[in-house]
Amino acid sequence: MVADLRELVVCESFSADLDAVARSADVVAAQGARHLGAPPERLVVDGVTHLRWTFGTPKVLLLGHHDTVWPMGSLATHPWSLEDGVARGPGVFDMKAGLVQMFHALASLPSLEGVCVLVTGDEEVGSDTSRALIEETARQCAATFVLEASADGGAVKTGRKGTSAYELVVHGRAAHSGLEPEKGVNAAIGAAHVTLALEGLAAEVDAGAPDDWRTTVTPTMSWAGSTTNTVPAQATVCVDVRVPTLDAQQAVDAAVRRLDVPVPGARLEVRGGPNRPPLENASSAGLFERASAIAARLGIGPLRSARVGGASDGNFTAGLGCPTLDGLGAVGGGAHADDEHVVVAEMAPRARLLAALVEEVAR
């Protein structure tokens, strides 16, 4: 497993470099073929390379991705290493170790009948080219297991917030800021009003929600104007939204679209909207109960669960009504950060858990 993990990690796969993603797909395809006994379909959508293995009529979907957030050249500053049972390197935790565990789990089964494996190449940038593939497959299946990294301490993820992303564009009118500023309509001032209006929006839709599982509406990037001596004709505010329920996602969307710009002559344009629906507890509860029983039977300790704010492709499968259990991948930490790492001793037990879970559900 360690040798396979090193093989994937030293092949960099930054999402924005499509050639690198294609090279990574070659490595993942070869590794998967060695373990599964068959080559995958190679699916290239808008230049992004995805891989799919299908054995018979799909009943169980195993879902992962091979792209990472790490820019090309990151191996020079974050090289592959294995020391004191901890593996490090770009993408080792999110989520190349999950792919290795998945391949080894499936290789241990007497039959892969009813199993579909989908490894996408653009999860880290929103899954724009893979979403249709994910949903097409999940519609046929009784369960989806997502090999994303676990939560703290190895907890599987039984809840994920849904995500929405907006660009709020304020249109004004340019004018010389020294000679005749009164003839302009300042889009930057309009954007400031819009930003402040976002502050209380989450509270409007969160009445009664638990404190640890609330909606967040966060203005992130913003910019305005073209030169320092011109009244800005346009300003943009980017907004990141995380929601615990589909109702909250719809309520936030409606509230964003009701926003107004209290600057005479200015106009607000709303771009974007909901991206991933939430993975709610109802989608994962039955599978978590089954996985917990298997973990106890295998003697690998009580299985814990967690709800997290980050989204994954499991949000899409849950949104379709396919029961989904996420975070079945690596145990470790530091996703996307300098401390990204995997606890190697946990890889084999997690693979055994996945193998038993897949076999039971497929049967």
Determine the residue type at 99. L
The residue to which tokens 């990037």 are assigned: 221
Determine the residue type at 111. S
Contact by Cβ (8 Å): 259, 190: no
115 class by beta-carbon count within 10 Å (0-12 exposed, 13-18 middle, 19+ buried): buried
Separation between Cα atoms, residue 157 and residue 332, nearest integer Å: 14
Separation between Cα atoms, residue 44 and residue 121, nearest integer Å: 9
C-alpha pair distances (Å), 280 with each of 30, 186, 200: 35, 42, 24
Catalytic residues: 67, 123
83 class by beta-carbon count within 10 Å (0-12 exposed, 13-18 middle, 19+ buried): exposed
Q: What share of the chain is helix, strand, coil (3-state, %, to 5)?
A: 40, 25, 35
